[in-house]
Structure 1
Amino acid sequence: MALSTLDRSARTYIAGHRGLVGGAVLRHFARIGFDDLVTRTSAELDLRDPVAVETFFAEQQPATVVLAAAKVGGIMANSTYPADFLSDNLRIQLNVLDAAARHGVTKLLFLGSSCIYPKYAEQPIREDSLLTGLLEPTNDAYAIAKIAGVLHVQALRRQYGFHYISAMPTNLYGPGDNFDPVGSHVLPGLIRRFDEAARVGAESVTVWGTGTPRREFLHVDDLARACVHLLENYDEPEPINVGVGEDLPIRELAQLVAEIVGYRGELAFDTSKPDGTPRKLLDVGKIHSLGWKAQISLRDGLSETYRWYRQQLAAGPLERG
């Protein structure tokens, strides 16, 4: 039984609606009948600015908040700009969480990342692995910011009794992803590289690392469904994992992307580039016990994402807001 069905007529603020996650959450919430959805672009509201955030919450008075706004990127971006990833994400979280508490937000979901867990955590990774070991150094600054968000949510619950929760998704993909050749995550980066190689007839495509690390991938529309499910069925201080419960080696992922894109050349692996965490598979027993499971297969999700990517290319240069 649900703890409390969300009032779909109450004002709901989706922070970060122009991003991969926020966009999917916005689409899903609108589709299932939320009729007072509030959004702001980063140009309209800089969430790093405490005065601007305070003014927004005072004027809009949302009842529910999904905090999907974040500065995100792949291994290269995280390694190159750790100070930016730490500072920007800390400020976004601090401003939104404190303003939500001051202005009576009754339900809030903070979305973190599976990178909060130790690099060598026991697999599959349980929620209680948090803070039990060293982080993966290529994205430790981002991870520390997200850990701070989890602890902030817990502190607000403990001090004020708020029904705020945290969810830790695994690696995400889907329509609306960032396909930038420098700042993207592994999957959109592979899609772009193989698509370009297929169109020019390249003999080979180089993939970073050894291809041996294993990763789990969740379609962002499945995460959007999970957001509503958790807001209605979960009310605990501990973060909860959101994933599919299965993973595969990067080598197999690259082969699958090549197949979907139609690339028939060779795959090469640049072993001088970092692999990142050897394996990162989430234990999803807790969310399964609440009645939620991922529904979109990796092959189907990748095919849909590739179609979306090609449609965007046909419409003009890919941009992010």
Structure 2
Amino acid sequence: MELHSKIFVAGHRGMVGSAIVANLERKGFTNIIKRTSSELDLRNQKAVADFFEAEKPEYVFLAAAKVGGIVANNTYRADFIYENMMIQNNVIHQSFENGVKKLMFLGSSCIYPKLAPQPLKEDYLLTGLLEETNEPYAIAKIAGIKMCDAYRDQYGCNFISVMPTNLYGLNDNYDLNNSHVLPALLRKFHEAKHNNTPEVTVWGTGTPLREFLHATDMADACVFLMQNYNEKGFVNIGSGKEISIRDLAFLVKDIVGFEGEIIFDTTKPDGTPRKLMDVSKLNDLGWNYSIELKDGIEAVYKEKFLS
């Protein structure tokens, strides 16, 4: 990409998309195309076709998606597979139709089998059954990876895919019914402290292990790969470090300054027991994360709840 290249960031208001825009702007890119969902419904085939025909972007970051935590994924199963398939089908196909030089498709680490060996290597894809609670979302994301590979195979398109680990950062979703574990914990502990609530309930046993990456690091990796990676297949993006949900809960408790008790509700689902990305491929390409988890959570908490 050149600094004047026409770059479309689909999903620029989301946590990942906004971080990508910020990263590009910091690096001097000046021709970034943005559309809100009200301006351009990416689920609408004709609307997307008309947009690409009119704008002719040279590079596309496909960060738009319908996302959520365990409750949302399990409750709105049809919505998650339909809307994500429509978004990626339209954007990927129109990128081909309109001669986009390079496209990056952003997936999710939930594409891996529930009981895959750890850490998760890229070649573990489709080697076992998926986690039931988010299977429709995962299948949509797997289809996106395979669609990029298919357009590369048949038409020679330079379409690449990346698989981020669990992300957190500015513009995250803090809705307790639809958010991921880290923003949900931040909100729970903050509200408990504000309301002098004696305890906070955390879903599950606390034993599952999770990896987290700040969205700022994620965006930097995406821009790095857009400039340096041109191969078939996808690349994991993560820190390569993990923490139990229990330890995460106590870390968030300390950062927020909540002095009550933590109750683990073992009647609620844990989800996948462990989900650590093997990031050796990304590291070998020359990129490593820079924001440590404690520092990142502290910064996000101050920005979201204390500013």
Which of the five TM-score ranges fits, normalised by the shorter chain?
A: over 0.9
Partners of 1:234 and 1:133 in 2: how far apart?
Answer: 27
TM-superposed deviation, 1:235: 1.2
Identity of counterpart residues, as a percentage?
55
What is the number of equivalent residue pairs in this alignment?
Answer: 307
User: In the alignment, which residue of structure 2 is the partner of 1:13?
Assistant: 8
User: In the alignment, which residue of structure 2 is the partner of 1:109?
Assistant: 104
Matches within 5 A, 1:241-320: 241-311=236-306
Match of 2:211 among 185, 194, 216: 216
TM-superposed deviation, 1:205: 0.3
Match of 1:192 among 187, 193, 197: 187
TM-superposed deviation, 1:137: 0.3
TM-superposed deviation, 1:10: 1.0
Partners of 2:142 and 2:38 in 1: how far apart?
Answer: 27
Which stretch shifts more, 229-238 or 181-190?
229-238
Partners of 1:210 and 1:76 in 2: how far apart?
Answer: 16
Runs of 4 or more consecutive aligned structure 1 residues displaced over 6 Å after TM superposition: none
TM-superposed deviation, 1:233: 1.4
Partners of 1:151 and 1:179 in 2: how far apart?
Answer: 31
User: In the alignment, which residue of structure 1 is the partner of 2:134?
Assistant: 139
User: In the alignment, which residue of structure 1 is the partner of 2:44?
Assistant: 49
- Unaligned regions of 5+ residues in structure 1, if any? 1-5, 315-321
1:171 aligns with 2:166: yes
Partners of 1:262 and 1:293 in 2: how far apart?
Answer: 31
User: In the alignment, which residue of structure 1 is the partner of 2:116?
Assistant: 121
TM-score, normalised to structure 1's length? 0.95
TM-superposed deviation, 1:213: 0.1
Structure 1 residues 67-114: Cα deviation after superposition (integer angstroms, max 9, x where no partner): 000000000000000000000000000000000000010011100000
For residue 198 of structure 2, what is the amino acid of its counterpart?
E
- Unaligned regions of 5+ residues in structure 2, if any? none
For residue 246 of structure 1, what is the amino acid of its counterpart?
K
Match of 1:155 among 126, 150, 154: 150
Structure 1 residues 4-51: Cα deviation after superposition (integer angstroms, max 9, x where no partner): xx1120100000011110010011111111100000000000000000
User: In the alignment, which residue of structure 2 is the partner of 1:317?
Assistant: none
C-alpha RMSD of the superposition: 0.7
TM-superposed deviation, 1:228: 1.1
Partners of 1:71 and 1:187 in 2: how far apart?
Answer: 18
